[in-house]
Structure 1
Amino acid sequence: MKDKVMNQLQHFSKAMFIPVLILPIAGILIAVGNLFTNAKLLEILPVLNNPVTKGFGTILSGSLVAILNNLGLIFCVGLGAGLANKKKSEAAFTALLGFLVFINAMNKFMNLTGILYTGDSLRGTGQAMVLGVQILDMGVFLGIILGIITAMVHNKYCDIEFQNAFQIYGGSRFVFIVLIPVVVLMSVVLTFVWPFVQMGITGLGAFINHSGNFGIFIYGALERLLIPTGLHHLVYTPFLYTSLGGTETIGGQVFEGARNIYYAEMADPSIAVLSPSVIWDARGISKMFGLIGACLAMYHTARPENRNKIKAILIPAAFTSFIAGVTEPIEFSFMFVAPVLFAVHAALSGLSMVVLNLLQVRAIGPNGFIDFLLYNVPLGIHKTGWPMYILTGLGFFVIYYVVFRLLIQKLNLNTLGRETEGLEMKLHTKAEYKEKAAAEKSKKDKAVKEDVDGFRIVEALGGSKNIEKVDNCYTRLRLILSNPELVQEEVLKHDTAASAVVKKGNNVQVVYGLQISAVRKAVDEALGKNENF
């Protein structure tokens, strides 16, 4: 039962990536739009101070805010597709239809029972306009609930087919037929139940906010500690996109969640200072600075004869963490061989967020340095305090380096380059080393680009008959295997460029980083399956 629950949670976590990963794109484009309307930038570059470029910036940032106002629909369709076992596009379309049925059914029922508020402003009433329809303000939770329900109904009934005159009602049409009474009944039930749920969510959000720096520390540390399970997305997503991360009224509209508030405030030039709730999105300190210090500490504490070897590993991993915010290759390098370092890393991550809160820094850098520049610099120093963010990051670079180096040496931890078992101890000339390094780099480059050997990966996973289900998220290949003991971890790491292998019951995750799309495609081709496998 425990493994089954874990598998379901990981499946849900992966499905959340479909809507979640599209939102930073909207945020970046809002930031780009602000570049063309930023008063200070227009003073520096007068050529941009014209109706065409200013109009373009206004349209770009203003139009994309509409995505933030319809997160419920986005999550509903995204989860409907992500949680469907097959026929994903049909599941997404059915989820859209179910969403429309739900909001109109709830509106009609609330009107019939006299619950529908008829005043001029809905603020503080617990009701909101969704696609022009007035219903209870369920925010992104509405999309999550309907996405899950749609996927459950779809997975159960999408293969049902009828004969003769009724055959047109089979498949996805039958799914929609079943879904209609389900969502209508849900709309009635939630009309009475949701106000109590909302009270609980509001109370939890208030408790966290009143916890102050302690709450921020717990959030930051927990978000890192759950990395091995792949469930860390379930920690930060509610804070970024629901009322748990704060509620602000901007331009007459109510926005919930730290990331949504930040994006909306970016698009509104009248906002002088960003609201404190965006501190929940300040996860970039450990990614852009802290783990770089950890890499340097591991390099300096490695055996002298191994430093050149691990440099070829650490430099690309550090660069990826700094630029793109992908930390797993670094974290998995010490997570299991030196878990005390991972615990310290989680604590320092939480502490960095507390420091930013104390300094009242509102800058963010969740996905690396490129995002940091686009999000913060156009808004100015007064609004975000981004120079202090960099200074804080440099401080944590030093802290990470000192703490990691001290612990590695004092506890004699077997981090990269300190292992003795299996190492080739003979000395090499400089020419021999260069030749060997070039060969290893060529082999690794081949594995992580278009020539990913899917058949080798499948073989190392115990063969095609051992693989029950294949999935992937942003950096990991996620699998359900019949017998996890057949997995050849060393082959996956050495021959296919995997950073780590994590086993939890029949659920196995293989970390590949940013090249995961190529890996997934190669595995699917080796299995002779499509993406719905």
Structure 2
Amino acid sequence: MKERAMEAMQRFSKAMFIPVLILPIAGILIALGNVFTNQRLLDAVPFLDNPILTGFGSILSGSLVAILGNLGLIFCVGITVGLAKKEKSVAGFTALLGYLVFVNAMNKFMELAGLLAEADAMQSTGQKLVLGVQILDMGVFLGLILGVITAAVHNRFIETELKGAFQIYGGSRFVFIVLIPVVILLAVSLTYIWPFFQSGINSLGELIQRSGNFGLFLYGALERLLIPTGLHHLVYTPFLYTSLGGVQEVGGQVFEGARNIYYAEIANPSVTRLSESVIWDARGISKMFGLIGACLAMYHTAKPENKKKAKAILIPVAFTSFLAGVTEPIEFSFMFVAPLLFVVHAALAGLSFVTLNLLDVRAIGPNGMIDFLLYNLPLGIEKTSWPMYIVVGLIFFAIYYGVFRFLIVKFNFKTIGREDADQETKMYSKKEYKEKKSNDNEEGAQPGDGLANVIVGALGGKDNIKTVTNCYTRLRLTVDKPDAVDEAILKNETGANGVIIKDKNVQVVYGLEVNNIRRQVDNYLGIQSDD
């Protein structure tokens, strides 16, 4: 039972990546549109003040803000595609149809039951317009619920075949036929049930808000502590896209969730300062600064004869963390050899949220420096206080360095460069990894076959692998026999930064190379990648 529950949570977490990783692109483009409509910038650079550029900026920001009003639909399709086991594109189309059926079914039932509120009272009664149709305001939760249900129906009935004259209604058509009554019944039942859930969510949100800095600390620490399980996305996503992260009216429209709110505020030139809810997405201090200090500490405490090797390993992963916010390669370098360091790292990450909040910093910093600059520079200092974010980051760089160096020396942790003579470093640099791929290709194999062969072999062979997917940094698999997985080969011969085995779920951390590695493994196994 526990094994199945963990597997379900990990599959759901993987499915969340589809919408979650796409939405920040919309935010960056909204910020870019704001550059061309920022009056202060136009006054400083007069040649930008022309109808073509300002019109382009207005269109870019205005069109992408519409995404924020339809997150339920986006998550519904994304979750369904992520959870579907076969024919993912068909599943996504079915999810779209199911969403439309649900919205209109709830509207018609509420109309028949006399539950629809007047236009000026919609907000106070928890109702809103979704795709132009008035229903209960369920926000992203509607997409999550419908996505899970649609995927379950799709996986159960996609291979159903009918006979005779009804043969044409088999497969994907039968899925939709089954889905219609399910969705209609769900719409009717949620009309009465959802207000109780919404009340509970609101109460939880109020409790978290009242917890103040303690709540921020727990949020930041827990988000890091769940990294080994791959479930950390389940911590921050509700705060970014639901009322747990705040409710704010921007330009006459109500937005829920930290990221939705500040996207709307970015696009609205009348907003002079981002609201306090942006703090829930300020996860970048440890990524851009803290872990870089940790890397420097690991380098300085490495054995003299291993410093060159430690530098070759630590510089690429530190650079990736600083620029793109990908932290797993660093975290996995000390997570298992020194768990205390990882606990300290999580605590310091939580403390960074508290520090930013106490200093009233409103800068946007969820990932690395690239995102940080694209978001904050166009908005200006007054709106974000972004220079203070840098100051806080430098302080945490020093704290991480000092704490990590002290603990590594005090407890003689075997971090990078401090291994015993009979031990090998647990992490490969990007240069070494590319050299290995090049050597594999020179041996006559097709590009990627050598590496894929090693990976598949270390996972117990083709017959042991049941499913292959990936997220932003990890190759995620389910296997028949977890005992057949050889962690040493995955780490030492394929460049994996870490391996996590939980029941029949296996996660192999490769960093930003994972998409290419996933394609190579799929090609080797003779299956078609369906991202």
Q: The TM-score by the shorter chain falls in which range?
A: over 0.9
Call closer, same or farther: CA 1:446–1:349 in 2, change over 3 Å: farther
**Larger displacement relative to structure 2 (477-486 or 198-207):** 477-486
Match of 1:182 in 2: 182
Match of 1:60 in 2: 60
CA contact 2:42–2:49 (8 Å) conserved in 1: yes
Q: Residue 22 of structure 1 aligns to a residue in which SS?
A: helix
Provide, for residues 369-420 of structure 1, a one-character-per-residue CA deviation record: whole Å limited to 9, x for no partner. Answer: 0100111111111110000000000000000000000000011111111111
Which runs of no fewer than 5 residues in structure 1 stay unpaired?
425-436
Q: Residue 108 of structure 2 aligns to a residue in which SS?
A: helix
By how many angstroms is 1:120 displaced?
2.7
Pairwise mapping of residues 21-60 of structure 1 onto structure 2 (< 5 A)? Answer: 21-60=21-60
Match of 2:133 in 1: 133
Provide, for residues 112-169 of structure 1, a one-character-per-residue CA deviation record: whole Å limited to 9, x for no partner. Answer: 1111102434222200100000000000000100000000000000000112211110
CA contact 1:376–1:386 (8 Å) conserved in 2: yes
CA contact 1:447–1:496 (8 Å) conserved in 2: no
Provide, for residues 170-191 of structure 1, a one-character-per-residue CA deviation record: whole Å limited to 9, x for no partner. Answer: 0010000000000000011000
Pairwise mapping of residues 267-282 of structure 1 onto structure 2 (< 5 A)? Answer: 267-282=267-282
Match of 1:523 in 2: 521
Provide, for residues 209-252 of structure 1, a one-character-per-residue CA deviation record: whole Å limited to 9, x for no partner. Answer: 00000000000000000000000000000000000000001111
CA contact 1:448–1:496 (8 Å) conserved in 2: no
Match of 1:198 in 2: 198
Provide, for residues 73-113 of structure 1, a one-character-per-residue CA deviation record: whole Å limited to 9, x for no partner. Answer: 00001111110000100100000000000010000000111
Match of 2:258 in 1: 258
Paired amino acid for 1:37 = T
By how many angstroms is 1:494 displaced?
2.0
* Residues in 2 aligned to 1:8 and 1:342: alpha-carbon distance in whole angstroms: 26
Call closer, same or farther: CA 1:47–1:10 in 2, change over 3 Å: same
* Residues in 1 aligned to 2:493 and 2:205: alpha-carbon distance in whole angstroms: 47
Identity of aligned residues (%): 68
Q: Residue 21 of structure 1 aligns to a residue in which SS?
A: helix
- What do you get for the CA RMSD once the two structures are aligned? 1.8
CA contact 2:283–2:353 (8 Å) conserved in 1: yes
Q: Residue 69 of structure 1 aligns to a residue in which SS?
A: helix
Call closer, same or farther: CA 1:257–1:230 in 2, change over 3 Å: same
**Larger displacement relative to structure 2 (164-173 or 286-295):** 164-173
Provide, for residues 457-516 of structure 1, a one-character-per-residue CA deviation record: whole Å limited to 9, x for no partner. Answer: 101111001112111111111111111111121211122111110111111100011111
One of 427, 435, 443 as aligned partner of 1:443? 435
By how many angstroms is 1:422 displaced?
1.8
By how many angstroms is 1:334 displaced?
0.3
Q: Residue 470 of structure 1 aligns to a residue in which SS?
A: strand
* Residues in 2 aligned to 1:222 and 1:55: alpha-carbon distance in whole angstroms: 43
* Residues in 1 aligned to 2:360 and 2:226: alpha-carbon distance in whole angstroms: 27
By how many angstroms is 1:41 displaced?
1.6
* Residues in 2 aligned to 1:298 and 1:218: alpha-carbon distance in whole angstroms: 27
Pairwise mapping of residues 215-230 of structure 1 onto structure 2 (< 5 A)? Answer: 215-230=215-230
Paired amino acid for 2:39 = A
Q: Residue 363 of structure 1 aligns to a residue in which SS?
A: coil
Paired amino acid for 2:477 = L
Match of 1:320 in 2: 320
Pairwise mapping of residues 22-421 of structure 1 onto structure 2 (< 5 A)? Answer: 22-421=22-421
Q: Residue 120 of structure 1 aligns to a residue in which SS?
A: helix
Kindly indicate whether residue 492 of structure 2 is the aligned counterpart of residue 500 of structure 1: no
* Residues in 1 aligned to 2:307 and 2:327: alpha-carbon distance in whole angstroms: 21
Paired amino acid for 1:354 = V
By how many angstroms is 1:442 displaced?
5.0
Q: Residue 467 of structure 2 aligns to a residue in which SS?
A: strand
**Larger displacement relative to structure 2 (63-72 or 495-504):** 495-504
Provide, for residues 14-40 of structure 1, a one-character-per-residue CA deviation record: whole Å limited to 9, x for no partner. Answer: 000011111000000001101111122
CA contact 2:316–2:430 (8 Å) conserved in 1: no
Match of 1:427 in 2: none
By how many angstroms is 1:43 displaced?
2.2
Normalising by structure 1, we get a TM-score of 0.95
Call closer, same or farther: CA 1:485–1:441 in 2, change over 3 Å: closer
* Residues in 1 aligned to 2:386 and 2:246: alpha-carbon distance in whole angstroms: 21
Aligned pair count?
Answer: 522
By how many angstroms is 1:446 displaced?
4.0
Match of 2:444 in 1: none
* Residues in 1 aligned to 2:437 and 2:467: alpha-carbon distance in whole angstroms: 27
* Residues in 2 aligned to 1:445 and 1:26: alpha-carbon distance in whole angstroms: 35
Q: Residue 120 of structure 2 aligns to a residue in which SS?
A: coil
CA contact 2:433–2:494 (8 Å) conserved in 1: no
By how many angstroms is 1:366 displaced?
1.2
**Larger displacement relative to structure 2 (271-280 or 42-51):** 42-51
* Residues in 1 aligned to 2:414 and 2:384: alpha-carbon distance in whole angstroms: 40
CA contact 1:36–1:56 (8 Å) conserved in 2: yes
CA contact 1:477–1:520 (8 Å) conserved in 2: yes
* Residues in 1 aligned to 2:395 and 2:131: alpha-carbon distance in whole angstroms: 46
* Residues in 1 aligned to 2:482 and 2:284: alpha-carbon distance in whole angstroms: 34
Match of 1:481 in 2: 479
By how many angstroms is 1:531 displaced?
2.5
Q: Residue 509 of structure 1 aligns to a residue in which SS?
A: strand
Paired amino acid for 1:344 = V
Match of 2:463 in 1: 465
Call closer, same or farther: CA 1:94–1:294 in 2, change over 3 Å: same
Provide, for residues 248-300 of structure 1, a one-character-per-residue CA deviation record: whole Å limited to 9, x for no partner. Answer: 01111110000110100000010011110110000000000000000000000
By how many angstroms is 1:454 displaced?
1.2
Normalising by structure 2, we get a TM-score of 0.96
CA contact 1:334–1:342 (8 Å) conserved in 2: yes
Paired amino acid for 1:451 = G
* Residues in 2 aligned to 1:396 and 1:184: alpha-carbon distance in whole angstroms: 52
* Residues in 2 aligned to 1:448 and 1:26: alpha-carbon distance in whole angstroms: 39
Paired amino acid for 2:282 = A
Q: Residue 501 of structure 2 aligns to a residue in which SS?
A: strand
Q: Residue 419 of structure 2 aligns to a residue in which SS?
A: coil
Match of 1:429 in 2: none
By how many angstroms is 1:367 displaced?
2.0
* Residues in 2 aligned to 1:514 and 1:444: alpha-carbon distance in whole angstroms: 17
Match of 1:514 in 2: 512
* Residues in 1 aligned to 2:48 and 2:109: alpha-carbon distance in whole angstroms: 52
Q: Residue 297 of structure 1 aligns to a residue in which SS?
A: helix
